[in-house]
Amino acid sequence: MEDVLKVSHLNVYYKQYAKSLFKKPTVFHAVKDVSFSVGEGEILGLLGESGCGKSTVAKAVLGMLPQVDGTIEHFSKNPQMVFQDPFHSLNPARSVGQILKEPLRNLTDLSKEAQEEKAVSMIKRVGLDEKYLSHYPKELSGGQRQRVAIAAALMLEPKLLIADEPVSALDVTIQAQIIDLMLKLRDEMKLSMIFISHDLRVVYQMCDRIVIMKEGMIVEEGRVEDVYVNPSHPYTKTLIEAANLKV
Amino acid sequence: MKKKNWNLILGTVITSIMLLLIVVGFFFTPYDSQQMNIDLKLASPSLAHPLGCDHFGRDILSRVMEGAGTTFFVAIGTVLLGCVIGIIMGAVTGYFGGILDEILMRLNDALFAFPSILLALVFISLFGSGKYNVILALGIAFVPSFARIVRSEFLRCKSLDYVRAARLAGASHLRIMFVHILPNILPVLLSSLMIGFNNAVLAEASMSYLGIGVQPPDSSLGMMLSEAQTYLFRAPWYVLAPGVAIVLLILGFALLAESINKKK
């Protein structure tokens, strides 16, 4: 299996401004020496409590942070991201069609007709009717919005998709639908994913391998079944006990 | 039942009356606004001259129609000029931040510290008066307030997820600024545009009142006010006509701005 992403010894520091004039600014070490890789067609779960540096890793991988230490190697073009809250990740002033065609317009030289065609086929692929192309995000429900966000991320046919808690803002029934959709798209498009979550059940359903983070460090890594049955780190044990999972 | 938006209704009615007056005045006035008639000097309102005549015997209604047009033109020009420069400045500083932001915003603060009339006065004394110089002078004085509003909105929007998504979709900075963010701040911008328009009407009127604004033979509402003050007691209708016209022009737009704010 070939890798689509290889991250080695990633360190991210945030500068925190001093609260008082007489104190020095402090540096917050958000991600500490994190290394992992994502194979082709693999879904890697990134698990941990809030504030443990999961999203920071995602941002670093996508080049959204100005300065990071360590190496991030991409073996595919245009990695994309699905954000947590579909109420913020879709521009309220643009129609669904415009949102879907935006990456094609900017990064490919397809004709208007070809763009339209691709948008229609993609929106059907994520399970929405093509009439929604002319709708605005505020006319859609949360689940529909997240489908649009996934469609927009897949327009360029990326090999790597980073999903930052894509279902945690949705109802449980909608969660299941979106998870099924993502699994289906993974198989159809041979996608690799980094699936960020704090929900052990969802991760168990979705992922092949998981990485568990605590306070910016990786504390455990392995195949989902192995980690869930045989957690080695005490933090993982408490996590799994707290979730009360029957594996 | 939905409550009626009286601000919107009243604002629309007053504004459309004034706009109608201005547009009609552009093509047709009951009398030639420059024609003097010594027999009609300071004539009181009558059927032939509904708002009376001024100290040269010119028809006040015709002059108000024409003057309101000039005032409106100057105010719109001022606001548009200030708004366009303000949007560009606010967008660049708010979106990019950093050292450019510091420099431009401190310049902005310096400009803001001057009262706009004073600033315009300096400008006029340097470059001479007249309609277009007034627009330029007031327009520059109006830049800071727009720049600040746009900057704060851009600051708010630039860290939102949809901007990150646009970045991943390969949109350039320029495209993100003006295609992705700008349409989202239009409601805020629209109400400040209307308030800005009102301030511009007042500023133009006060400059013309001081004699440094629009120059004869053009007439503006402020100029008529300053001419009329000498005859305040002999011919009160002379001062009332342009005064009421200014009030209505501002009131209409203020009500519209208020109704937009409420809708949000």
Domain ranges within chain A, ordered by starting residue? 3-79+158-243, 92-155
Highest mean pLDDT among A28-37, B38-47, B118-127: A28-37
Residue B38 lies in a domain: no
Highest mean pLDDT among A165-169, A192-196, B4-8, B224-228: A192-196
Query: Nearest Cα to A91, choosing from B152, B97, B160?
Result: B160
Q: Which of B161, B179, B181 to mutate against chain A (most A CBs within 10 Å)?
A: B161
> Closest-CA residue in chain B for A100?
B169
Say yes or no: B167 contacts chain A, CB-CB below 8 A: yes
Domain coverage including residue B198: 6-19+60-263
Contact call for residues A229 and A247 (beta carbons, < 8 A): yes
Q: Is there a contact between B164 and A80 if contact means CB atoms under 8 Å apart?
A: no
Contacts of B88 (CB under 8 A, 6+ apart): none
Highest mean pLDDT among A181-185, B218-222, B260-264: A181-185
Q: What is the pLDDT of residue A246?
A: 59
Q: What is the pLDDT of residue B127?
A: 83
What is the tally of structural domains in chain B? Answer: 1
Q: What is the C-alpha R_g of chain B?
A: 22
Separation of CA A10 from chain center: 18
**Residue B13 belongs to domain with CATH number:** 1.10.3720.10
Say yes or no: A66 contacts chain B, CB-CB below 8 A: no
Across the range B105-128, mean pLDDT stands at: 82
Q: In chain A, which residues have their Cβ closer than 8 Å to the Cβ of B171?
A: 102, 106
Measured CA to CA, the distance from residue B29 to residue B70 in angstroms comes to 14
Measured CA to CA, the distance from residue B171 to residue B164 in angstroms comes to 10
The DSSP line for B88-156 is HHHHHHHHH-HHHHHHHHHHHHHHHHS-HHHHHHHHHHHH--SHHHHHHHHHHHHHHHHHHHHHHHHHH
Residue B42 lies in a domain: no
Token pair recorded at residue B202: 């007042």
| pLDDT tens-digit series, residues A193-229 | 999 988 888 888 889 999 988 888 888 888 888 888 8
In CATH, which of 3.30.70.1110, 3.30.450.40, 2.40.50.100, 3.40.50.300 is domain A3-79+158-243? 3.40.50.300
Highest mean pLDDT among B52-56, B71-75, B209-213: B71-75
Contact call for residues A187 and A115 (beta carbons, < 8 A): no
Q: Is there a contact between A83 and B165 if contact means CB atoms under 8 Å apart?
A: yes
- Residues 182-241 (B) with a CB less than 8 A from some CB of A: 183-184
Band (pLDDT 50/70/90 cuts) for residue B81 is: very high
Q: Is there a contact between B183 and A93 if contact means CB atoms under 8 Å apart?
A: yes
- Residues 105-134 (A) with a CB less than 8 A from some CB of B: 106-107
Q: Which of B163, B164, B168, B186 to mutate against chain A (most A CBs within 10 Å)?
A: B168
Measuring CA to CA, how many Å separate B40 from each of B43, B227, B232, B239? 5, 17, 17, 17
ipTM of the complex: 0.83
Phi, psi dihedrals of residue A152, rounded to the nearest 5°: -65, -40
